[in-house]
Amino acid sequence: MTTSFMILAVLTVAGTAAAMGLRNAVHCVLALALGFAGIAMLYLQLGAQFVGFTQILVYVGAVAILAVFAIMMTHNDKSMALPDSHSAWVAGCIVAVAVFAVLARAIVSSSASAQTQPPQPAATVQQIGNALMHRFVMPLEIMGLLLTAALIGAVVIAMDRREEMK
Amino acid sequence: MTHLALMTQHLDQIFVLTSHWLLSYLPIALQPLCSAILSVAAIIIAFATLFALTTLLERKGLGRMQNRYGPNRVGPCGLFQPLADGVKSLTKEDIVPIRADRAVHFMAPVLLVAASFMGYAVLPIGRNMVMVDMNAGVLFFFAIGSLMELAVFMAGWSSRSKYSLLGAMRAIAQMISYEVPLVLASVVVLMQAGSLSTVAIVNMQATYSGIWPHWFVFTPWGFAGFALFMIAATAESNRSPFDLPEGESEIIAGYYTEYSGFKFALFFLGEYIGMFATSGMAITLFLGGWSAPFSFLTWIPSYFWFFAKLLTIISVFIWIRGTLPRLRMDQLMNLAWQFMLPMTLLNLLTTGIWHFMLPGFLRWIVCSTMVIVPCILLGSGLKYKKKFQIRTYHFSQ
Amino acid sequence: MVGEGILKGLAETARNFFGSYVSKDRLTTVQYPEQREPQIEATRDFPFLVYDGADWQQGMRCVACQICEKECPPKCIFIEKSKDKKPDAFGKMQIYPATFNIDISVCMSCQICVEVCPFDAIKMDVEYHQSSDDRFGALLLNKQRLSKSNEYYNAIHPTEASAVDAQRAEELAKLEAKAKAAAEVKAAAEAKAAADANPALNASPQQPAGDPQ
């Protein structure tokens, strides 16, 4: 529990808590982005550069923007009001507790938490690359294919619409 | 001879040595912190000065391209114009719209400038002159670049103005669209260099065969990658001809319509600093970073070469801005998805083939054909596919 | 060829860029406070009042007829008539404006006041350096600030002014000729009257033939 960990932890928790508590949906997303950034910095603090930067790139740069767009596209005053109904709160709490329980159980039972002093992680990009290219080459290829197909599909859809318009 | 060599070496490392000398007076515990502060201060001062210089250069250059003088009143030949601009923007009233979201409105320019400055952490400005040599440096650069979109959104949304919001929407759509070709264009270098570290990439290019350097731009895939990267970088930094987000004729000033005084200046600064950072990344990836263009010029300090290349790229940016008109939104998107994206994907393939073919003349011919022919076909295909017709608007009917 | 147009455009701007350093006639900008473009003769901005001779109060052509005040579309002219009279340029006793103000922050430089003036008393100026730090006072021109000599008018609009001068000289000459004729008729009549004092009762109701009114 170093000082920097404490600062980052407070930042992350504050960000995510604000994301739940704020009344304005766009503020919530911005607070969530802060939480994401806090988590990214926690990764960096643990020496996982690749994961940390990917977290920023994907979550802060893409997911937060996507969320913001989604909010603005569906924005109206009715949907902005927070659910006040009792049952929604109860359901939310049950889901949260369940997720927390699963995660806590997984962490406690995993071998990583057994070590009191974790070894200095040295997962360089080189190592990640090697792992991806040797051990996990098949999943990587499949995912790459999927993403490329999605990319080309998006372009084709965009082109198709132009044809229809003519 | 050795004396001369030592002197040039010292000149090359003068900033590094000065920093070490200054830090040696401090207690060991404080040294890392002070070293960081020193480098940050140096980068901020250097690039803020470059920003001031560029605004002047841009106004002068654009003026000359339009047969005007440009600013020539403040100081000799208008040299102190940036100073006057700074004083002006500092003394202007800071107006915040009454319905604006004050906190977000305030944070947007701060985040933008902070994000645009953070990219410099991994740019090797000279030999041994990089703030942090991360082994995921390039990734860091693009991750930080994506923060700017958030800042732009904050600015556009918090102003509560239709022009700001439209400008922010355009900017984000454009930045996300062009981030794909930007990253894909730089991936070719990562493939060839086998490293995400900017320092390693530059070191790889800073070797010579004969007098010629091994810059990646001097290969077919490197040249194509550089061209695509620069087009995407122009769009990414919202510069003309891709300056729709601030299209004055349509949406006043885009996402910073509702900013005034120093906050406006901060946006301006952030935009230029971002442009320098992306240009610096292009230099690092394709133009050999701080390395000299010929082996017999290596005695000139490395940082000189970096800034010389940067200024050249800036001049080209200004030249382009003085020449091309603004694109329309659909043209912008078509360029990104129908030309840039296929070309970058093809360039990836070309790089792979280059990597696995034996060095020689054949490799050059095959790879050049693989880049040039699709470029021409795609370009003319897109050109001739266009039929002039009555424009129909999708959403207004 | 793809990108050909872009290259042509770049060549054009490069030509402009370097050309502006080589040939000075590319740069048409006039460096304003130091250099001035010569004004064309028909330049006009705001009205002024013309006076003849050296004294602006004596020579004032304006007779406070108030036509310009009535015609002025934005109503920027304010005139107050005097109680007494002074001789005008033709020697006739006329009233004159006690106050004559033009608010040039309202004036739209339409020149209608000049068109309607029957006395050639108001003309258009060319002086455009009217900026001031006093928003109301400095832009409300009073009689003294409006008065400018006929020489000044001749200097700024030579053609127009010489035409006006010629016309006025002609009128003056006509008047003088008439006065002279009248004087001659009067003198003849007096002589006649003196010659035949007796039949004076017959001649007196008849007016002299050359009487102007």
Helix spans in B216-340 (H): 220-236, 248-251, 261-286, 302-323, 329-334
State the CB neighbour count (10 A cutoff) for residue B301: 22
B392 part of contact set with chain A, CB < 8 Å: yes
- Tracing tokens 């550069």 back to the chain, one arrives at A49
The shortest CB-CB distance from B323 to any of C3, C13, C27 is to C13
Q: Is the pLDDT of residue B187 over 50?
A: yes
Give the pLDDT score at B312.
92
For residue B311, what pLDDT is reported? Answer: 92
- CA neighbor of A18 nearest in space, from A10, A27, A6, A26: A27
Over residues B344-363, the pLDDT tens digits come to: 988 988 888 888 877 778 88
Closest-approach residue (CA) in chain C for B65: C17
* Nearest C-alpha neighbor of B155 from the set B100, B192, B195: B100
Give the lowest-confidence range in A119-128, B52-61, B204-213, B219-228: A119-128
Sequence-separated (6 or more) residues with CB below 8 Å from residue B31: B23
Identify the closest residue of chain B to C24 by CA–CA distance.
B67
Which 278-337 residues of chain B touch chain C by CB within 8 A? 319-320, 322-324
CB contact under 8 A, B67 and C9: no
Contacts of B6 (CB under 8 A, 6+ apart): none
Predicted local distance difference test score (pLDDT) of residue C135:
82
Residue A140 lies inside a defined structural domain of this protein = yes
CB distance B204 to B214 below 8 Å:
yes
Q: Do chains B and C touch (3 or more CB pairs under 8 A)?
A: yes
| C111: amino acid identity, one letter | Q
Q: Are residues A68 and A129 in the same domain?
A: no
Nearest CA in chain B to A48: B136
* Closest residue of chain B to C7, computed from CA coordinates: B323
Q: How confident is the model at residue A1 (pLDDT cuts 50, 70, 90)?
A: low
Nearest to B154 among A30, A56, A148 (CB): A30
Domain range for residue A152?
Answer: 123-166
For B294-327, how does the pLDDT look when each residue is reduced to its tens digit (9 = 90+)?
878 777 888 888 899 999 999 999 999 989 888 8
Q: What is the overall mean pLDDT for chain B?
A: 84
Domain boundary among A42, A58, A76: A76
- Residue C210: predicted pLDDT: 47
pLDDT at B310: 92
ipTM field = 0.76
Q: Given an 8 Å threshold on Cβ–Cβ distance, is B323 in contact with C9? A: yes
Q: Does residue A58 form part of some domain?
A: yes
Provide, as residue numbers in chain C, all residues whose Cβ is less than 8 Å from the Cβ of B64: 16-17, 20-21
Please compute the mean of the pLDDT values over residues A12-26 and round it to a whole number. Answer: 84
pLDDT of residue C40 exceeding 70:
yes
Which chains share 3+ C-beta pairs under 8 angstroms with B? Answer: A, C
| Same structural domain, A72 and A11 | yes
Q: Which residues of B touch A64 (CB under 8 A)?
A: 150
Q: How confident is residue B279, by pLDDT bands cut at 50, 70 and 90?
A: very high
Which residues 12-31 of C are in CB contact (within 8 Å) with B? Answer: 12-14, 16-17, 19-21, 26-29, 31
Q: What is the pLDDT of residue A166?
A: 45
Check whether A118 has a pLDDT greater than 70.
no
A2 with A69, same domain: the answer is: yes
Q: Is C54 on the interface with B (CB under 8 A)?
A: no
Alpha helices in chain A (DSSP H): 3-21, 25-45, 49-55, 64-73, 77-80, 86-109, 125-134, 137-165
- Is A115 part of a structural domain of the chain? no
Q: Kindly state whether residue A108 falls inside one of the protein's structural domains.
A: no
- Residues within 8 A of B (CB atoms), A 58-77 only: 60-62, 64-65, 68-69, 72
pLDDT band at C201 (very low <50, low <70, confident <90, very high): low
User: A67 and A131 share a domain?
Assistant: no
Give chain B positions within 8 Å (CB) of C20: 64, 67-68
Report the residue of B135, B333, B337 to disrupt the A interface, i.e. the one with the largest count of A CBs within 10 Å.
Answer: B135
Tokens 């996507």 sit at which residue?
A66
Least trusted range by pLDDT, from A84-93, B80-89, C77-86 = A84-93
Q: How many domains does chain A have?
A: 2
pLDDT digits (tens, 9 = 90+) for B133-167: 888 888 889 888 888 888 888 888 888 888 888 88
Question: Is B35 in CB contact (< 8 Å) with chain A?
Answer: no
CA distance, residue B250 to nearest chain A CA (Å): 22
Report chain B residues whose CB lies below 8 A from the CB of C5. Answer: none
Model pLDDT for residues C55-81, shown as the tens digit of each residue: 888 888 888 888 999 999 999 999 998
In angstroms, the CA B97 to CA B154 distance is 14
CA-nearest of C146, C138, C96, C92 to C122 is C146
CB contact under 8 A, C2 and B375: yes
In a domain, residue A86? The reply is: no
C-beta atoms of B143 and A33 within 8 A: no
**Separation in Å, CA of B63 to nearest CA in chain A:** 37
- Of the CA atoms within 13 Å of residue C85, those in its CB half-sphere come to 9
pLDDT tens-place string over residues B219-261: 888 888 999 999 999 998 888 888 877 777 777 777 888 888 8
Q: Provide φ and ψ at C49, rounded to 5°.
A: -105, 130
- From A42, A76, A110, the end of a domain falls on A76
- The answer, yes or no, to whether residue A146 has pLDDT greater than 90, is yes
Bridge-partner residues for C100, per DSSP? C79
Q: State how far residue B134 is from chain A, nearest Cα, in angstroms.
A: 8
> Region B4-19: what's the mean pLDDT?
78
Contact criterion met (CB < 8 Å) for B104 and A50: no
pTM (predicted TM-score): 0.78
- Domain assignment present for A109: no
* Beta sheet of C122-124, edge-to-edge order: C122-124, C47-51, C147-149
Would you say residue B50 has pLDDT above 50? yes
Give the CATH number, domain containing residue A41: 1.20.120.1200
Q: Do B143 and A53 touch (CB under 8 A)?
A: yes
Q: What is the mean pLDDT of chain A?
A: 79
Cβ-based contacts of B145 with chain A (< 8 Å): 61
Examine the domain organization and report whether A70 and A128 are in the same domain: no
Picking from B94, B81, B308, B288, the residue whose alpha carbon sits closest to that of residue B205 is B288
Tokens at B168, concatenated: 């922010």
Identify from C20, C24, C30, C31 which residue to disrupt to test chain B contact, counting B C-beta atoms within 10 A and taking the largest count: C20
Residue C212's pLDDT band, with cuts at 50, 70 and 90, is very low
- Between B31 and A11, residue with greater pLDDT: A11
Q: What residues of B are in contact with residue A71 (Cβ under 8 Å)?
A: none
d(CA B196, CA B202): 11
- Chain B touches chain A, with at least 3 Cβ pairs below 8 Å, answer yes
What confidence tier does A160 reach under pLDDT thresholds 50, 70, 90? low
Interatomic CA distance for residues B62 and B56, integer angstroms: 10
Looking at chain C, the whole-number percentage of residues with pLDDT higher than 70 is 92
Residue C100 backbone phi and psi in degrees, to 5: -140, 105
Average confidence (pLDDT) over B113-136: 85
To the nearest whole angstrom, how far is the Cα of A101 from the nearest Cα of chain B?
32
Residue C188 CB coordination number (10 Å) = 11
Mean pLDDT of all residues belonging to chain C:
84
Q: Which of B233, B289, B268 is nearest to B58 (CA)?
A: B268
Whether residue C95 contacts residue C64, with contact meaning beta carbons closer than 8 Å, is answered with yes
Amino acid B3: pLDDT:
75
pLDDT of residue C84: 85
Q: Which of A76, A105, A133 is the last residue of a domain?
A: A76
